[in-house]
């Protein structure tokens, strides 16, 4: 919802976050969603899709580091990475910090959004689209996995929220995660953003986790506080091999030190704390979480 340069981003039907912007940079309707880039005093440039804040210039590094690196560190030598979504290019940027990566396939359905991010959000992608290891496709991420008979070490789902009939709502289902599992190499890892686990609304977070638990042997939900979301945000890591919480901190530190660009949010000492889930969220999992199916997808407000 918007009025008088004010963005009202709902977390639930009766609560949310507001952001007043000082300048509209661009606004249009792509083939798939409403797209807007604005300038705000508090958060700098802001990408908004279907009325929901996706990321901001000031704190996007928190979301993207939290999404990418737990999965990448969970694999001993990630060489091939598949990114579903990720239009800003910041997830791609973080993936390419890992020197072992030989190819990063990024599949974002909405070419117009990627083009806008290339032009107006350069601090997000930092040239990652032009890296020789990048393969960029503008197709349905699920269709590409179904069509191409190749496998990956890490699959990262950097998706917009599953708005009803939006571009992402069929990429949170058991059937999609089973497809992802078939496209993972032995020891492969999947991670997805899994929604807002607020005190009053945690259906998405728990349901994505429950759905991944129905497919993979090991599943680790975790949280990071995103200021521009005004909330903790949920992520879920999954695989059939041991995942990051069991890794040695010295190994993680050594890999971080190999990056040409240092991380701003994560270090080896802080990283394990992301996996500490508060008791009230653990207690509500059985009450509100469900397995998501193609025939009964999860959609948010």
Catalytic positions, please?
158
CA 269, 234, 111: angle at the middle one, nearest 5? 110
CA distances from 188 to 42, 81, 82, 231, 246 (A): 39, 10, 11, 30, 15
Q: Are strands 23-29 and 15-20 parallel, antiparallel or unpaired?
A: unpaired
Q: For residues 80 and 102, is the Cβ–Cβ distance under 8 A?
A: yes
Tell me how far apart the alpha carbons of residues 289 and 273 are, in angstroms, rounded to a whole number. Answer: 23
Task: Please give the structure tokens belonging to residue 236.
Answer: 């879920």
- For the four alpha carbons of 200, 161, 58 and 223, in that order, the dihedral sign comes to positive
Tell me the sheet residues that pair with 155.
82, 190
How far is Cα 21 from Cα 118, in angstroms, rounded to an integer? 21
- DSSP-derived secondary structure for 137-153: E-S-HHHHHHH----EE
**What is each CA distance from 233 to 32, 135, 271, 292, 294, in whole angstroms?**
24, 28, 15, 19, 24
């Amino acid at each position: 919802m918007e009025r008088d340069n004010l963005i009202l981003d709902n977390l639930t039907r009766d609560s949310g976050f507001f952001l007043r912007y000082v300048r509209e940079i661009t606004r249009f309707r792509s083939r798939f969603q409403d797209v807007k880039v604005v300038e705000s005093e508090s958060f700098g440039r802001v990408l908004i899709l279907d009325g929901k804040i996706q990321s901001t210039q000031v704190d996007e590094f928190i979301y993207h580091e939290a999404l990418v690196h737990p999965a990448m560190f969970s694999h001993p030598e990630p060489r091939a990475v598949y990114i579903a979504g990720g239009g800003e290019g910041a997830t791609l940027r973080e993936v390419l910090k890992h020197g072992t990566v030989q190819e990063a396939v990024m599949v974002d359905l909405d070419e117009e959004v990627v083009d806008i991010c290339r032009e107006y959000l350069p601090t997000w992608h930092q040239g990652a689209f032009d890296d020789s290891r990048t393969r960029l496709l503008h197709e349905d991420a699920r269709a590409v996995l179904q069509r191409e008979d190749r496998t990956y070490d890490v699959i990262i789902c950097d998706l917009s929220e599953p708005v009803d009939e939006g571009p992402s709502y069929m990429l949170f289902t058991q059937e999609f995660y089973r497809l992802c599992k078939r496209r993972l190499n032995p020891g492969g890892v999947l991670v997805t953003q899994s929604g807002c686990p607020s005190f009053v609304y945690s259906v998405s977070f728990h349901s994505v986790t429950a759905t991944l638990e129905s497919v993979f042997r090991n599943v680790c939900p975790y949280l990071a506080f995103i200021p521009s979301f005004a909330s903790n945000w949920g992520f879920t890591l999954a695989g059939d091999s041991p995942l990051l919480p069991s890794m040695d901190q010295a190994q993680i530190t050594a890999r971080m030190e190999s990056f040409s660009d240092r991380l701003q949010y994560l270090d080896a000492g802080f990283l394990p704390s992301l996996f500490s889930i508060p008791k009230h969220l653990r207690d509500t999992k059985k009450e509100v979480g469900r397995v998501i199916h193609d025939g009964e997808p999860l959609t948010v407000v």
